[in-house]
Amino acid sequence: MKNIAVILSGCGVFDGAEIHEAVLTLLAIRQAGASYQCFAPDKSQLHVVNHLTGDVDETASRNVLTESARIARGDIKPVTECDVDEFDAIILPGGFGAAKNLCTFAVDGDQSRPDAEVLAVCKAFAEARKPAGYACIAPALAASVYPQGVKLTIGNDEATATGINAMGAEHVNCDVDDVVIDNEHKLVTTPAYMLAQDILEANAGLTKMVKSVLAMK
């Protein structure tokens, strides 16, 4: 049975991991006959968003690992404990947390800086030639992980794609139910809720991403 490391970025689309994407990814992994272990950085979120109103709560502070534990039902570890030798692949669901807590793309665009601990883990998988899947906006982080020219997608948003290209990646437009595969770097990306208007649309691409990652040798 293949074992997959999953990195989460909080809990909630506007300031953490996109919950539907995270759960659908975990479900797809298990339905494909693989197992998973969730990880997250143990640090404060960039900010906390009221998901009912969309407003930032300037007085609140939440921890990325603690919030991610909500999705993982408590079975989660600090990202520093992710040992590449124990896993066959790594997958990162999206949500704004991927661009706010795992890197600074949401704030800094093409000057984005990855979280050092997350980058170390993701680079370890890349350098070990182990497959990886990045969904939604998470490919903005992948642009900092992989060499210049790596092919990836966030869908078809021109401004976001331009920022990612400026970081050295090669963005490829992609439909919501499809994936972009860079076989040279063993990277699979899918737009998910960068394009999805419905949970079924998100599920189609995420499931294809998981299956493509697991099929890589």
Catalytic residues: 136
SS (H, E, C) the chain: CCEEEEECCCCCCCCCCCHHHHHHHHHHHHHCCCEEEEEECCCECCCCECCCCCCECCCCCCEHHHHHHHHCCCCEEEHHHCCHHHCCEEEECCCHHHHHCCECHHHHHHHCCECHHHHHHHHHHHHCCCCEEEECCCHHHHHHHCCCCCEECCCCCHHHHHHHHHCCCEECCCCCCCCEEECCCCEEEECHHHCCCCHHHHHHHHHHHHHHHHHCC
Residues 41 and 102 sit within 8 Å (Cβ to Cβ): yes
* Residue 16 identity (one-letter amino acid): G
Beta strands 76-78 and 35-40 are: parallel
Tell me the C-alpha distance between 33 and 35, whole Å: 7
